[in-house]
Amino acid sequence: MPNIFTPTELAAYDRDGYLLVRQLFSRQEIDGLSAYARRDSGVESQAYDRRDATGMPVKLALWNTPGDDLYGLFSRSRRIVDRMEDILGGEVYHWHAKMILKEPRVGGAWEWHQDYGYWYNNGCLEPLLASCWIAIDPSTKENGCLQVLRGSHAIGRIDHGKTGDQTGADLERVEAALNRFERMYVEAQPGDAFFFHCNLLHRSDQNWSENPRWSLICCYNAARNDPYKESRHPRYTPLAKAEDGAILEWLRTQE
C-alpha cells in the first residue's frame, strides 16, 4: 500500500506522540482549498467562536460527515487515511473535521488541552483516536502556530475544565508537564501535515501578526473503538477513501 509510514516513523510517533509530514499535499491542491474555503459563505455562516482565557475569539467550523465536496475529499484522502490506519493499527473512520480560521490581530489562543479530554466524554473507551492538522496558510510563531509537549501523550488522559469558552487541561498537571516535556513549535508551510495522538498536550498562541492562519484538521477514530453511546460525533461508519488524483480532478471540474 503506498504512502504509509515506515517502521522508523511509527516508532517516532509512539515515542513523541506526533509526526510531521512535509508537503503531503501539493501547492496546487492547497491553493485550491484556500480559494474554495475563503469564498465559501457556508464556512463563515457555520463558524462559531471559542474565546480564550483573555476573551479573544478563535473561529472554527466543524462537521461530522465527509461528503464529496473539497473538504470531504481531503478528509477521505488515502494520503491521510492510510497513515491513520498505520498509526491506529487498523481500520479507521471519520470522527469529525474542522476549519480553524485564525485571523490577523484578532485570532485568539487555544489553551493547553488534549483532544481525548473531550472525546472521552463522547463514549470512546480507549484513546485510539488521532488528528491530522493541515496547514492552509504558513504557520509560524508570529501568527500563533501549534505548540505541543513532545512525548506528553504518555501521561494519559488529564481532567479538563472550562478556560474562557474553551475546555482546557488541569492547570496543575499542565505546569508539571511543562517542566518535564520539551515544548515544540509546529512551524509549517501550506500542504504540510501534522499527525498527532489524542492525548498529546497542545495549544496555540494568539495571532498578533498581519497574516491569517487557516488550517484544516481531520480527526479519526479506530473502528474497533466505536463509542458505546450516542454523542455529538458519529459512531462507526465505513469510510470511502478518496484516491490521490481526486482533489485535482474536483478542482478541474470547477474551472
Average pLDDT of span 26-47: 85
**Which cell numbers hold the place of 21?**
509530514
Average pLDDT over residues 132-146: 96
CA-to-CA distance for 236 and 250, rounded, in angstroms?
A: 27
List the end-to-end C-alpha distance of the chain, in Å, as a whole number.
Answer: 32
| 3-state percent helix, strand, coil for the chain, nearest multiple of 5 | 30, 30, 40
CA distance 97 to 111: 19
Q: In the beta sheet, which residues pair with residue 21? A: 193
Confidence of residue 148 (pLDDT cuts 50, 70, 90): very high
167: how many CB neighbours lie within 10 A of its CB? 16
DSSP 139: B
User: What cell was used for 230?
Assistant: 450516542
> Tens digit of pLDDT for each residue in 215-244?
999 999 999 999 999 999 999 999 999 999
d(CA 137, CA 215): 7
Q: For the full predicted model, state whether its pTM sits above 0.85.
A: yes
Strand, coil or helix: what is 143? Answer: coil
Interior/surface letters 204-223, b for 16+ CB within 10 angstroms, e for the rest? bbbbebeebbbbbbbbbbbb
| Residue 2 pLDDT grade (very low, low, confident, very high; cuts 50, 70, 90) | very low
Please give the backbone phi and psi of residue 162, each rounded to the nearest 5 degrees, phi first.
Answer: -70, 135
**Cα–Cα distance, 178 to 166 (Å, whole number):** 20
- Phi and psi at 77, nearest 5°, equal -60, 135
Render pLDDT for 100-120 as a digit per residue (tens, 0 to 9).
Answer: 888 887 756 778 999 999 999
Mean pLDDT is lowest, of 94-98, 159-163, 201-205, for 159-163
Does the structure show a pLDDT above 50 at 34?
yes
Using the 8-state DSSP alphabet, how is residue 215 labeled?
Answer: E
| Residue 230, CA distances (Å) to 90, 98, 101, 121, 234 in order | 23, 20, 28, 11, 7
Q: Which of 19-23, 90-94, 117-121, 162-166 has the lowest mean pLDDT?
A: 162-166
pLDDT of residue 103: 84
Q: What is the pLDDT of residue 55?
A: 61
Per-residue pLDDT band for 46 (boundaries 50, 70, 90) equals: low
Residue 29 has pLDDT above 50, yes or no: yes
Domains along the chain with CATH numbers? 7-253 (2.60.120.620)
Instruction: With cut-offs at 50, 70 and 90, classify the pLDDT of residue 97.
Output: very high
